[in-house]
Amino acid sequence: MNLGETIKKLRENNGWSQQEVAAKIPMNQSNYSKIERGAQDPSIYQLRQLCVIFDISADELLGFSPENRKILQDISFAQKVKELYKSIYIK
């Protein structure tokens, strides 16, 4: 599920219209609709407001479960090892 789908599901679960959520951010309904459709990414401010409105952490809203966090840490570690290897052996 992408971010827009997650936001839409949270909105619908609360029984709110797009207009109601947009007013809480605040932003216009047309741009809010673009976020739900995935045509526009929310700004950092809008993302923060969505977390407050839905009473959810940014990790949860963005889909980072503990398992996902572990995978991202492993990828980050692997990237650092790869960069170190390149800096030592590839000139």
Top-confidence residue, 64 or 56: 56
Name the superfamily (CATH) of residues 1-56.
Answer: lambda repressor-like DNA-binding domains (1.10.260.40)
C-alpha span between 4 and 2 (Å, rounded): 6
35 DSSP 8-state letter: H
Top-confidence residue, 60 or 33: 33
C-alpha span between 6 and 59 (Å, rounded): 12
**Looking at residue 59, what is its pLDDT?**
84
Confidence of residue 1 (pLDDT cuts 50, 70, 90): confident
Dihedral class, residue 29 (left if φ above 0, else alpha if ψ from -120 to 50, else beta): alpha
C-alpha span between 41 and 43 (Å, rounded): 6
- Residue 69's alpha-carbon distances to 1, 44, 54, 66, in angstroms, are 17, 20, 22, 5
C-alpha span between 64 and 1 (Å, rounded): 12
